[in-house]
Amino acid sequence: MSSSESAVEHALDTSFFQRWLTAAAESVHREAARLTELDSAIGDADHGTNMQRGFAAVTEALEKEPPGSPGAALILAGRQLISKVGGASGPLYGTLLRRAGKALGDAAEVTPQQLADALRAGVDAVAQLGGAAPGDKTMLDALLPAVEALGGDTASFTAAGEAADKGALATVPMLARKGRASYLGERSVGHQDPGATSSALIVAALAEAVR
pLDDT at 44 over 90: no
The DSSP-derived string for 172-183 is TTPPP-SSGGGG
Task: State residue 54's pLDDT score.
Answer: 97
pLDDT at 38 over 60: yes
Query: Mind listing the domains of the chain with CATH numbers?
Result: 11-208 (1.25.40.340)
- The pLDDT tens digits of the residues spanning 129-146 come to 999 999 999 999 999 999
Q: Name the least confident of 33-47, 173-187, 192-206.
A: 173-187
Task: State residue 123's pLDDT score.
Answer: 97
Task: State residue 185's pLDDT score.
Answer: 79
Facing residues of 110 across strands? 12
Contacts of 163 (CB under 8 A, 6+ apart): 145, 146, 148, 149, 203
Q: Name the least confident of 22-26, 71-75, 120-124, 174-178.
A: 174-178
Tell me, what amino acid is at 19?
R
Do the beta carbons of residue 22 and residue 208 sit within 8 Å?
Answer: no
Contacts of 15 (CB under 8 A, 6+ apart): none
- Whether the full predicted model's pTM is greater than 0.85, yes or no, is yes
- The pLDDT tens digits of the residues spanning 164-180 come to 999 999 999 999 988 87
User: What is the Cα–Cα distance from 139 to 64, expressed in whole angstroms?
Assistant: 29
Tell me, what amino acid is at 81?
L
Nearest to 77 by CA among 60, 198, 205, 27: 60
